[in-house]
């Protein structure tokens, strides 16, 4: 049950991907075709659906009004926000869209609010700030029925800790749903947020990179059940059901506080250096210009290009 996942420079590596992520979403919302294509793909204002898991049935079976987290949601609003009992009318579900870049994303929502309202007829909800690595501090343990992490756990700085924290939030019998591209860090050559791979190895959920390898089935076996499957486009899907609380030794909150205090002071010191400020701004505007042209393409054309790039990478392995 033990694992080693020391922060070291992982937060720093993760933070280097922030400029790209902000530039990407700013230009998705900037362009009418791209925004419309994304919302056509989104399930917002629809019945919640998740691949290889009947989440509508699970949520309608909850004894109280279900509480749902969409962790690391970005700005895609992929997860639907309605449920429909078998013999009843559909109704909105209490879903929290959560992301560590929420302050930046909410600025983008505000910047393009008139376009959003014109296209959809309503305003998209604000995104709540929260980090998966410390998510039980934002949403206390035993309060969440369903936590969803799609294409985001492998983008976090400490994915094993994030997974354990997400399980800690769940009620007994609650579910953690994961859906990720297989081995994305390998595909993306360990750039930006892509520092970890997630894979299905004969029914085992494996999280790994060049320095670490974690068998999640073994790690959580004493307090949770897990089912791992393969979805469309070979996506790795896992449904984890909480049986008991996560052991205290796996969630060292005192060590977390010490590390976060040190990290805060490091960021304050770095923020006073003019060269760091200029470097960050240059990186953001470089990405912003690149994304300006990329996102001007139609959604269909971008998806076609992305598939071609992925196919080329697969063929070159």
Q: What is the pLDDT of residues 51-69, one digit of tens each?
A: 999 999 999 999 889 999 9
The pTM of this model reads 0.85
What pLDDT is stored for residue 260 in this prediction?
A: 72
What pLDDT is stored for residue 287 in this prediction?
A: 80
What pLDDT is stored for residue 280 in this prediction?
A: 76
Q: How confident is the model at residue 301 (pLDDT cuts 50, 70, 90)?
A: confident
Tell me which residue of 47, 83, 49, 46 sits closest to 65, measured CA to CA: 83
Residue range 175-190: average pLDDT?
92
What pLDDT is stored for residue 268 in this prediction?
A: 65
For each of the domains in the chain, give its residue range(s) and CATH number, in order of start: 10-17+43-251 (3.40.50)
Q: What is the pLDDT of residues 164-174, one digit of tens each?
A: 999 999 999 99
Q: What is the pLDDT of residues 151-162, one digit of tens each?
A: 999 988 889 999
């Amino acid at each position: 049950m033990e694992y080693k996942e020391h922060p070291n420079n992982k937060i720093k590596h993760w933070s280097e991907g922030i400029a790209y992520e902000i530039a990407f979403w700013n230009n998705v919302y900037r362009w009418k075709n791209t925004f419309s294509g994304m919302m056509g793909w989104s399930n917002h204002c629809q019945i919640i659906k998740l691949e290889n898991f009947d989440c509508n049935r699970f949520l309608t079976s909850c004894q109280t009004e279900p509480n749902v987290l969409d962790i690391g949601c970005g700005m895609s609003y992929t997860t639907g926000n309605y449920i429909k009992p078998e013999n009843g009318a559909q109704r909105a579900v209490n879903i929290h869209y959560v992301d560590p870049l929420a302050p930046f994303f909410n600025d983008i929502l505000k910047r393009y609010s008139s376009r959003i309202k014109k296209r959809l007829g309503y305003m998209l909800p604000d995104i709540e700030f929260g980090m998966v690595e410390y998510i039980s501090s934002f949403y206390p343990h035993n309060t969440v029925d369903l936590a969803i992490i799609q294409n985001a756990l492998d983008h976090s700085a400490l994915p094993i800790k994030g997974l354990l924290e997400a399980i800690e939030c769940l009620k007994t019998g609650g579910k953690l749903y994961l859906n990720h591209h297989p081995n994305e860090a390998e595909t993306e050559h360990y750039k930006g947020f892509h520092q970890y791979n997630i894979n299905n190895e004969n029914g085992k959920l494996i999280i790994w990179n060049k320095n670490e390898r974690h068998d999640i089935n073994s790690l959580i076996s004493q307090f949770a059940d897990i089912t791992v499957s393969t979805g469309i486009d070979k996506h790795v899907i896992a449904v984890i059901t909480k049986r008991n609380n996560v052991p205290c030794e796996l969630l060292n909150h005192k060590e977390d506080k010490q590390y976060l205090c040190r990290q805060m002071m490091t960021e304050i010191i770095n923020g006073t250096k003019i060269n760091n400020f200029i470097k960050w701004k240059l990186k953001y505007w470089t990405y912003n210009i690149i994304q300006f042209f990329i996102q001007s393409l139609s959604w269909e054309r971008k998806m076609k290009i992305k598939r071609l790039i992925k196919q080329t990478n697969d063929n070159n392995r």
